[in-house]
Amino acid sequence: MNLMSTAVLDDFANLAPSLRIDLHSHTNCSDGGLSPEELIDRASNFQIDILAITDHDTVAGLDIASQYITEKNLPIKLINGIEISTVWQGFEIHIVGLNIDLKNKQLHQLIELQQEARETRAVAIGDKLASCGFPDVYQKAKDLAGTGSITRAHFAKILFQQGHVSSLQKVFDKYIGKGQRAYVKPNWCSIKQAVEVIHAAGGSAVIAHPIRYDLSGKWLRRLIVQFKEDSGDALEVVLPQMAPQQRDLMLNYCLEYGLHASMGSDFHYPSKWSDLGRNLRMPERATPVWHLWAESIN
């Protein structure tokens, strides 16, 4: 059912619960498998009403997607987003920025620094993989990434395609995951910097997939306390394949720390396990992150 109308979207605080909303997705401007146009087509086929594109440290897909939506006159509201990699206490924490102004200067300055950090790390990963007996992987990963953000997912794909490992996950487990032979410490910005820039660009800052960092309960709470101190806005409480207990735990953190709640598939490419908008429903007790946008969207 596609209930979107301009009136509904004018007032984000009163969104119809039946709207399909997905606030976390990727294109081939970073490590997604679909172009922005293909992603929009898929979202349209799945009758997604509101979609955020949140590529890793880039906003390059958003103008393309927005033009395509206009050209095809599709009933999709696009939310301008980004997923910023940060380092906190040795953990790589992803901060999603939603409803950001794409023209903001500070945002572009941060993106430039993050891209430099990505490039430096990619070269170093390439060197380490060469020492592991896999030459030329940097260049192939670079070619695969094209003009987009180069990520470890590109390296994983190359090693998998070359038949060195039996799955993409194995590349992380054996080589490029934290603590493995070809892991390189990244020079990402801090959580505080990411939140500040997202706010400067008028957006909301969200801790992406809090359950995926392998943090103990104690460390997860520390992360949320830090995020709150840094004026963060929301936690992703609804993701695909999340156990109800995990969702309730995240929801309780939201309530305890006065944070809003976000939801998204973190779609990268079509798979059996998850897809755009699938199984995403905001719990009743949560205050959705889009309540923060009631006045800023038209």
One symbol per residue from 146 to 165: x for binding ligand AMP (CB under 6 A), - otherwise; what is it?
Answer: -----xxx------------
Which of Mn ion, ligand AMP, none binds 211 (CB below 5-8 Å, type-dependent)? none
Task: Calculate helix-pair angle for 60-72, 36-45, nearest 10 degrees.
Answer: 50
Q: Does 86 bind ligand AMP (CB under 6 A)?
A: no
Q: Per CB under 6 A, which of residues 217..276 are in contact with ligand AMP? A: 268
Strand 234-238 and strand 260-263: pairing? parallel
Which of Mn ion, ligand AMP, none binds 42 (CB below 5-8 Å, type-dependent)? none
C-beta of 208 vs 282, nearer to Mn ion: 208
**Neighbour count for residue 243 (Cβ, 10 Å):** 9
How many amino acids of this chain bind ligand AMP (CB under 6 A)?
A: 10
Task: Calculate helix-pair angle for 152-161, 105-131, nearest 10 degrees.
Answer: 30
Instruction: Report in angstroms how near the CB of residue 118 gets to ligand AMP at its nearest.
Output: 7
One symbol per residue from 24 to 53: x for binding ligand AMP (CB under 6 A), - otherwise; what is it?
Answer: -------x----------------------
Nearest to 54 by CA among 75, 19, 89, 29: 29
CA 111 to chain centre: 14
Residues with Cβ within 8 Å of residue 61, at least 6 apart in sequence: 27, 28, 29, 36, 39, 53, 55
* Rg of the chain, C-alpha, whole Å: 19
Binder among 24, 42, 56, 128 for ligand AMP (CB under 6 A): 56
Which of Mn ion, ligand AMP, none binds 208 (CB below 5-8 Å, type-dependent)? Mn ion
Q: Which two tokens stand for residue 275?
A: 């897809």
Instruction: Report in angstroms how near the CB of residue 134 gets to ligand AMP at its nearest.
Output: 17
Stretch that binds ligand AMP, among 70-78, 169-177, 244-252, 271-279 (CB under 6 A): 169-177
Task: Quote the CA–CA distance of 280 and 23 in Å, as a whole number.
Answer: 10
Q: Does 55 bind ligand AMP (CB under 6 A)?
A: no
Task: Quote the CA–CA distance of 15 and 58 in Å, as a whole number.
Answer: 28
Q: Does 142 bind ligand AMP (CB under 6 A)?
A: no
Q: Which residues bind Mn ion (CB under 5 A)?
A: 31, 83, 94, 208, 266
Longest dimension (CA), the chain: 59
Q: Does 209 bind ligand AMP (CB under 6 A)?
A: no
What phi and psi values does residue 82 have, to the nearest 5 degrees?
-155, 150
Which residues in this chain contact ligand AMP in the complex, by CB under 6 A?
31, 56, 85, 151-153, 169, 172, 177, 268
